[in-house]
Amino acid sequence: MNGVANDSNGQANGVKKTSTQLQIIDENQHFTQELSQSMKDEWHLADSGFNYNLVAVFGSQSTGKSTLLNRLFGTNFDVMSESARRQTTKGIWMSRGKDMNVLIMDVEGTDGRERGEDQDFERKSALFSMATSNVIIVNLWEHQVGLYQGANMGLLKTVFEVNLQLFQAARGKEKTLLLFVIRDHVGATPLANLANTLTADLDRIWQSVSKPEGLENCSINDYFDFMFTALPHKLLLPEKFEEEVIKLRERFVNQNHKDFVFKPNYSKRVPADGFHVYAEGIWDQIMSNKDLDLPTQQELLAQYRCDEIATVAFEAFLGKIKGFRQPIEAGKIIEGLGPQMEEIRNTTIKQFDKDASRYHSDVYKRKRNEILNKANSQLHAFYLGQLKNLSKKAITMFNSRIQEKLKGEGYDFAEVVLNARNEVEDYFKKNAESIVLTETDWTYDEEITQLQEGIDEIAAKSRIEETKKMINGLEKAFQAQINEFVTLYFKSPTPDMWTKIVNKFQEVLDKTEQQLLKKAKSFNSSEEENAKSVENLRKRSWQQLRKKIDDELADNMFLLKLRERFEEKFRYDDEGLPKVWKPEDDIDAHFRKSRDDVI
């Protein structure tokens, strides 16, 4: 079962021993449920965000891995007894380094007698270390350099292969530093020569690794960086050993050090408060991925990989389409939206196909449909938004077209509306069709119906307004004619004046009614509407005539007309010329005659 060990008080290189250590994976390969609590309550890292790092160590059993970690980081991992020479670290233990936001993982040694030929756990724990750690310390003796097993080259080859399969999407973005610490270095062989030997071995291993499609020419440096250092013999040169360990610690704590190990691209970008979920998920993936030791359970691997590939592809997809949202929500129409959406979606699917198609066929097809449906769902919102904006623009176009045509004279209203309707409906259908994507069931039937209803509403409103304007125009013209002939008849009244007024009124009214019925045809008015319009015209026309006559017969107007008539008779002769009065003229008689004529 998992365990928790408390540190004892003590000093190592002047570094005080740090806090509680936790066995996160036990020797039975069970993951602890206490990591979240330790991150929060014991190590106080849960609120650190991305401001933390993780270091793991692996190497052969009894090479002093735990001792090295305790010296470097002030931890208190169990160390091997110099006399017993037996395995002490079982499973994977974790603690926090003293005075640093660094998690330290002490990994069970390889080639252990206790596990014998069963290397399943050591390989899984090594892959777990690579999947979670920023820096991995590879601890080995100087005399093991150049030996395939002693230098863990066989284990590294397996880890490289599966790492490529599981984490290929991070190529060139997230790396892991492999820090080789060569122990008991006596100095006979310079460190540079030892580093060259290890580098050559690593390159040979990488060349022999089976690489996924598309990564055939990738370099080991796309995924890993390497550093090499050496430490003197701990027993023969204890003071020198401690001195070099202190120097090595500087590379973990001093950001200004030229060989500072925690570079930004080594970070796995996992927030500290979610690390326990991430770590357990990685371990579960490793436990279910039998490709670490046997090519089995490919469907589980496909499930994991296709999900991971789909996530990466869909994140890129979302990044590409986010620019559509703001203009569409602002009511703008994006030119070429359909081809753009089609291209982005197809590129996403092609990216998924390229990386996922080699996995289990049924899982791949199911996940492909899922990401296709997710992409279509995201794009459908933009499709509906674009349709909405197209409809608004079409309505605006329709209204603009008919208003422009109705400004002129002699237009046919029905023809104006029909032409404008055909134009905007063609515009809408053409643009709507251009944003319907393949492999979708998108339609715009409802939107075209709503557009037609909007057009009908505007046309009906315009019809009412134009009919009113037409009738008002006819009534104004009618009023002008009435005013003209009534004024004329009242100016020169005759005994049959009223008969003339009525006859003239009927004549003008008949002509106005004919004009009304003629123009009403272009508005597609019904017989009932025409009859109602004529009836209203007659009523208002008679009212206009009556009002004009009343105005003419008003007292002030009537007296004014009598005065004008009298002045005309009295001051002007029969030929309309001003009279020139002579002394012998009888002015009083002429006055009485003019008055009598007027009365």
Binding site as annotated, residues for GTP: 59-66
Q: Read out DSSP for 187-211? A: SSS-HHHHHHHHHHHHHHHHHHS--
Q: Read out DSSP for 476-525? A: HHHHHHHHHHHHHHHHS--TTHHHHHHHHHHHHHHHHHHHHHHHHGGGT-
Annotated binding site: 59-66
Any idea what the Cα angle at residue 127 is, between residues 32 and 361, rounded to 5°? 100
Q: How many helices (H) and strands (E) does the chain have?
A: 16, 10
Q: What are the C-alpha distances in Å from 330 to residues 74, 344, 347?
A: 59, 22, 27
Q: Which two tokens stand for residue 297?
A: 């359970």
Strand, helix or coil for residue 59? strand
How far is 317 from 375, CA to CA, in rounded Å?
Answer: 8
How big is the chain by its Cα radius of gyration, in Å?
Answer: 50
Q: In what order do the strands lie in the sheet with 53-59?
A: 4-5, 21-25, 92-96, 102-107, 53-59, 135-141, 176-183, 224-230
**Residue 233: in which H helix or E strand, if any?**
none
Residue with tokens 């349709």: 387
Q: Which residues pair with 55 in a beta bridge?
A: 104, 135
How far is 245 from 1, CA to CA, in rounded Å?
Answer: 33
Q: Which two tokens stand for residue 319?
A: 């990044």
How far is 387 from 317, CA to CA, in rounded Å?
Answer: 22
Strand, helix or coil for residue 229? strand
Any idea what the Cα angle at residue 89 is, between residues 83 and 91, rounded to 5°? 155
Q: What are the C-alpha distances in Å from 49 to residues 37, 339, 379, 483?
A: 16, 40, 33, 90
Taking alpha carbons only, the member of 175, 226, 171, 168 closest to residue 201 is 226
Taking alpha carbons only, the member of 177, 181, 180 closest to residue 266 is 177
